[in-house]
Structure 1
């Protein structure tokens, strides 16, 4: 009876997340820590409007959630409270359920990205290109601003002053922007041959290419950087760091 009462459930909120880093990571973590009453599942939902139903179904045991594509922005409307940093970023990827049953949103992508990027930065890394404009891209932009690295968002249809289109990427622009971060899903397994449409021929050894994708380990985007002698990094460490930060929040 006691075991049932102490059950603690955690979940990943997203769409088409049959395989998820979070479920695998936390399931192994619970096993390692011998937390038999802890379970991590996927809330694979077609619409964010389905979230309240999922929460209601698991009301007695649900303690926290992670949020992934495409709901990091949409989830705002379903939260009772939002952490100040997440509010500034404009995206939530971690939700804590308080003792009173309230939902509070946080952003741990910021922590994960910052601490995985810092060891790679050199003095000449003054300007960056962020490929994509979703929730993860917003967290990346927030970190770069804090690190005093000027950046531009690159997308197919730029809507902000800080945005440019892929067609505008010239040799001159790539020589100035020596940090390039892929925040799009292009190149994720199984479609590993895909990559963002940037002029890779203008990459040099002073470039730093960071891909938020971790599966495959070396994406086509990163491989094209390696061929030009650039420094490269995938998103695995960022994911691990943000997951640990989420765990800290849920247990605080």
Structure 2
């Protein structure tokens, strides 16, 4: 039996285990999928030694960037993005980093195109946001990151004026705010300025409808959670794990 799993921290909420467990059962595959919840990335080597039968891993918050020094090499996309969400275990024992988040997001976003203008705000600056930037660059969007601690060329949440919101028609939440069980949380943006021309895309998929989405929908914006993105990136991960 081959073992696959998800590497992250505080990941009890994750749907990946359910997704792959159902897939393995439906297809009668003799595999298992487990959550590997690490308090710090330094415990990764110990995890490997205790689980020699691991054949592939997904990686989530907060280790999409921190995992990179532990890998043998990265593929072209993950190297460009600067974040990894999929690890392939080669037969020679080498660990190769990939990123399938960009594929999942691009595929899911396609359902909402075209958007009035190719302008976007990306909420958050972590590993997940880097894959979103990669996709928006490829699609010709202009965008700004929004951060609690903004650097040059970024906005702070308190800087988001009516004009800024009305000039950026795609808003992507890459923060964990609103993830179960903290469903009352939401990114602090001025939702009052949203319109029917806006699309709010939340990478969170648990709960199915976040407070971020509810507030956008109340203004007539089109909204999406991250489930479709999760599905497509997971299937892409599966293809990578099974490639020669």
Give the structure-1-normalised TM-score. Answer: 0.94
Q: Deviations over 1:43-78 (max 9, x none)?
A: 11111010111112222x211000011000000010
- Find the aligned partners of 2:13 and 2:175 in 1 and give their Cα distance: 18
In structure 1, what is the equivalent of residue 15 of structure 2? 21
- Find the aligned partners of 2:19 and 2:128 in 1 and give their Cα distance: 19
CA shift for structure 1 position 125: 2.9
- Find the aligned partners of 1:173 and 1:123 in 2 and give their Cα distance: 16
Q: Does 1:58 align with 2:51?
A: yes
Residue number among 147, 151, 168 corresponding to 2:143 in the alignment: 151
In structure 2, what is the equivalent of residue 4 of structure 1? none
CA shift for structure 1 position 18: 2.3
Gaps of 5+ in 2: none
In structure 1, what is the equivalent of residue 35 of structure 2? 42
- Find the aligned partners of 1:76 and 1:137 in 2 and give their Cα distance: 16
In structure 1, what is the equivalent of residue 4 of structure 2? 10
Larger Rg: 1
Pairs within 5 Å for 1:78-157: 78-157=70-149
In structure 2, what is the equivalent of residue 174 of structure 1? 165
Structure 2 SS opposite 1:128 = strand
Structure 2 SS opposite 1:74 = coil
CA shift for structure 1 position 80: 0.2
Give the structure-2-normalised TM-score. Answer: 0.97
CA shift for structure 1 position 117: 0.1
In structure 1, what is the equivalent of residue 217 of structure 2? 226
CA shift for structure 1 position 20: 2.0
In structure 1, what is the equivalent of residue 188 of structure 2? 197
Superposed CA RMSD in Å reads 0.9
